[in-house]
Amino acid sequence: GQQVMQIPQYQHVQEGEDFTTYCNSSTTLSNIQWYKQRPGGHPVFLIQLVKSGEVKKQKRLTFQFGEAKKNSSLHITATQTTDVGTYFCAGTPTGGYKLSFGAGTTVTVRA
Amino acid sequence: SAVISQKPSRDICQRGTSLTIQCQVDSQVTMMFWYRQQPGQSLTLIATANQGSEATYESGFVIDKFPISRPNLTFSTLTVSNMSPEDSSIYLCSVEGPGGRRGELFFGEGSRLTVL
């Protein structure tokens, strides 16, 4: 079955630095979504990408969907303490309907 | 956006008992999704609840263990039956966004169950 893998599992970042988390699928995806879950909270939708090579920005967050529609990345610039949390990617396989979540990247920030 | 209320927000349960989690949405939705998030893990879909029909369960989840009700388009319940410590998880209710935001999932606050 389809698997969505995320790396790294943990990201410890110095405040002000940049980092990237990656999402890879074993099959082609019709879309990729990203969610953020704060400690003790519930997942909150950030963005959805549907086009090959698509890039979207939300302030300091840049989301990219790969040309082959099998991978995605989330890049955060100038990390702040408010960026702490777990970032999940989730993808729907092409021709399918079931959304599969990656294992998440848990981000901690050193002030 | 959809506003989702879940009850209880947390509970401590004894082994062998059952607990029913309620999910109320502020708008009518066709499908409601129930997810499980084990400690430190990702989200796993338990089942999809459609109004007027039986829920569709994912591989590894069965109706006898996780019975679901969907009496109307704004409400659903998930029961965790005959609980064991392995059932200690966060259970999340979710719906898709309305209209143009279809595909985007909104989650309730979650029900954090600890089974002793």
Number of A/B CB contacts below 8 angstroms equals 37
pLDDT in tens, B58-91: 999 999 999 999 999 999 999 999 999 999 999 9
Chain A residue numbers with beta carbons less than 8 Å from the beta carbon of B42 are 88, 101-104
- Non-local (6+) Cβ contacts of B57 within 8 A are B46, B47, B63, B66
pLDDT in tens, B17-43: 999 999 999 999 988 999 999 988 999
Task: For residue A55, give the nearest of A68, A79, A77, A74 by alpha carbon.
Answer: A74
**How close is the nearest chain B Cα to the Cα of A92, in Å?**
10
pLDDT at position A3, please?
84
Tokens standing for B57? Answer: 């369960």
Chain A residue numbers with beta carbons less than 8 Å from the beta carbon of B44 are 101
Chain B residue numbers with beta carbons less than 8 Å from the beta carbon of A43 are 43, 92, 105, 107
Say how far apart CA A29 and CA A95 lie, in whole Å: 9
Residue labelled with tokens 């909104």: B106
Q: What are the residue ranges in chain A where pLDDT is below 70?
A: 1-2
